[in-house]
């Protein structure tokens, strides 16, 4: 049977069926890449991947990007520095084997606090709790398209600060001094509306809410507008909720989505392995057609 692509919501996400990511031929990979550019998030069920398989599939999308600096630095499985472990599990010494614990991970785009954020990330489910720990993705192209024209006009030509102090679990990154001042916080300024480098489709680009600021506005004006934009972008009509099954791999486009995760029972085990693909181009402002 040939590969199938079934949309998960009108705004974002598609499930790719009849495919084994270990055995992709050139034509299948090309179809996956096209579907990814169109839907921003792709779900592949029932995969059986070793870390080597995960890395091999990841490399087909581009050069690997090192994992993010988290509350305890970068945590990878032994011998796999390009794999990032997201987990609440402790090792035999009582140390976490991964990052983010069992709490909520708030909405964010991966590593957009860098000048060159990763193009893509993917998460592979190795152990999952019976309940909780669902991951949500919002489609920032659909969110931009649905913004009132006056708001779009207000945002064009402006940049937004993407904070690098805190990770999505609310932890301060290793080696960083905590601050709640957007202008002192480490991070990057990126255009508020970016063009997708392959398709040209515009997307709202918010990154993280904490320590964010819109260029050219007072902090009070910026906070009011950011709150409005965040409420809009994360409204249910732009969101796909993913309920994990073992063997799921979810690939997302960091340029056109944000994601968050529900908390789960810390007595349960959740182990996910993540890779990410280095950005090929820095985020570029979308210019409206004349
Ligand atoms: C992440 O932000 O990459 C983690 C998402 C998750 O744990 O589901």
Q: How far apart are CA 99 and CA 88, in angstroms?
A: 7
What average pLDDT does range 48-76 have in this prediction?
88
Closest ligand 1 atom to residue 244 Cα is: 8
pLDDT of residue 71: 65
Q: How far is CA 266 from CA 102, 133, 134, 169, 202, in A?
A: 5, 10, 14, 14, 39
Share of the chain above pLDDT 70, in %: 98
Q: Is 276 in the pocket of ligand 1 (CB under 6 A)?
A: no
Place of tokens 């994360």: 234
- Under the banding of pLDDT at 50, 70 and 90, the label for residue 73 is low
CA 70 to chain centre: 15
Measuring CA to CA, which residue among 242, 229, 235, 277 is closest to residue 110?
277
Asked if residue 30 has pLDDT above 70, the reply is yes
Nearest to 239 by CA among 220, 257, 266, 213: 257
Q: Is the pLDDT reported for residue 169 higher than 80?
A: no
Q: What's residue 232's pLDDT?
A: 97
pLDDT in tens, 189-208: 999 999 999 999 999 999 98
Question: Cα(257) to centroid of ligand 1, in Å?
Answer: 13
- pTM beyond 0.85: the answer is yes
Which atom from ligand 1 is nearest to the alpha carbon of 272?
Answer: 7
**DSSP state, 68?**
P
Answer whether residue 151 shows pLDDT above 90.
yes
Least reliable range by pLDDT among 65-79, 88-102, 119-133, 226-240: 65-79
pLDDT band at 210, cuts 50/70/90?
Answer: confident
- Any residues with CB less than 8 A from the CB of 48 and at least 6 apart, and which? 20, 22, 247
Distance, CA 138 to ligand 1 centroid (Å)?
13
From the list 111, 89, 36, the residue with the least C-alpha distance to 275 is 111
Mark residue 211 as left, alpha or beta (left: phi above 0; alpha: psi -120 to 50; beta: remaining).
left
């Amino acid at each position: 049977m040939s590969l199938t692509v079934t949309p998960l919501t009108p705004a974002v996400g598609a499930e790719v069926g009849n495919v084994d990511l270990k055995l992709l031929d050139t034509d299948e990979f090309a179809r996956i890449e096209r579907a990814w550019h169109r839907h921003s998030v792709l779900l592949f069920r029932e995969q059986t991947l070793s870390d080597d398989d995960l890395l091999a599939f990841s490399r087909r999308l581009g050069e690997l990007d090192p994992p993010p600096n988290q509350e305890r630095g970068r945590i990878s499985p032994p011998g796999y520095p390009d794999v990032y472990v997201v987990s609440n599990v402790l090792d035999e010494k009582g140390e976490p084997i991964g990052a983010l614990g069992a709490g909520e991970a708030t909405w964010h785009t991966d590593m957009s606090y860098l000048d060159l954020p990763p193009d893509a990330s993917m998460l592979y489910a190795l152990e999952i709790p019976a309940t909780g720990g669902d991951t949500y993705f919002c489609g920032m192209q659909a969110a931009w398209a649905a913004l009132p024209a006056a708001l779009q006009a207000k945002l064009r030509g402006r940049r937004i600060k993407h904070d690098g102090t805190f990770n999505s679990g609310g932890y301060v990154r290793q080696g960083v001094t905590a601050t709640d001042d957007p202008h002192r916080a480490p991070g990057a300024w990126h255009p508020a509306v970016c063009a997708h480098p392959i398709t040209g489709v515009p997307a709202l680009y918010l990154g993280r809410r904490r320590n964010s600021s819109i260029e050219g506005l007072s902090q009070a004006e910026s906070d009011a507008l950011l709150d409005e934009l965040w409420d809009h972008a994360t409204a249910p009509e732009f969101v796909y909720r993913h309920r994990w099954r073992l063997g799921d791999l979810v690939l997302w486009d960091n340029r056109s989505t944000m994601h968050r995760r529900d908390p789960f029972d810390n007595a349960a085990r959740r182990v996910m392995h993540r890779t990410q693909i280095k950005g090929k181009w820095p985020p570029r402002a979308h210019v409206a057609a004349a």
